[in-house]
Amino acid sequence: MITAGQMRAARALLGIDQRKLAEMAGVSLPTIQRMEASEGTVRGIVDSLMKVVEALNQAGIELIGDNARSEAGGRGVRLRQPAPSAPPPAHGPTVS
C-alpha cells in the first residue's frame, strides 16, 4: 500500500513535518512515527493507513506502486533499483 520511504518522501515534497501530517490525517503523532519507522511496507491499523493515504492524496501526492504508471501528470520522483555498477576499466600496458 505505502512504504515508510514513500511517507517520508511525500512529507519532504510537501515541506511538512510528522506533526503536520498527523494533523492532516487525523491520527496521532506517535502513529506517524511508528509508520515511518516500519521496514518496507507500512504496518498499522488499516483505518489509520487509509487516513494518511487520503490526506497525502488531498495534498496532491500520488503514490505509485512498483511497476505502476503515473497517469496524473505533473512532476515527480520515482525510486528504482540502481543499475549494476560497471566494472572498473582494465589497465593496459603502460607506455613510457
The stretch 35-42 carries a mean pLDDT of 89
Total-model pTM: 0.74
- CA-to-CA distance for 34 and 82, rounded, in angstroms? 27
The pLDDT score that the predictor gives to residue 30 is 96
* 31, 71 Cβ separation under 8 angstroms: no
pLDDT above 70 covers a percentage of the chain that reads: 77
Residue reference for cell 519532504: 12
What residue ranges define each of the domains in the chain, with the CATH number in brackets? 4-58 (1.10.260.40)
Dihedral class, residue 5 (left if φ above 0, else alpha if ψ from -120 to 50, else beta): alpha
Overall average pLDDT of the 33-47 stretch? 89
Say if residues 11 and 21 touch (Cβ distance below 8 Å): yes
Residues 6+ apart with CB under 8 A from 22: 28, 29, 31, 32
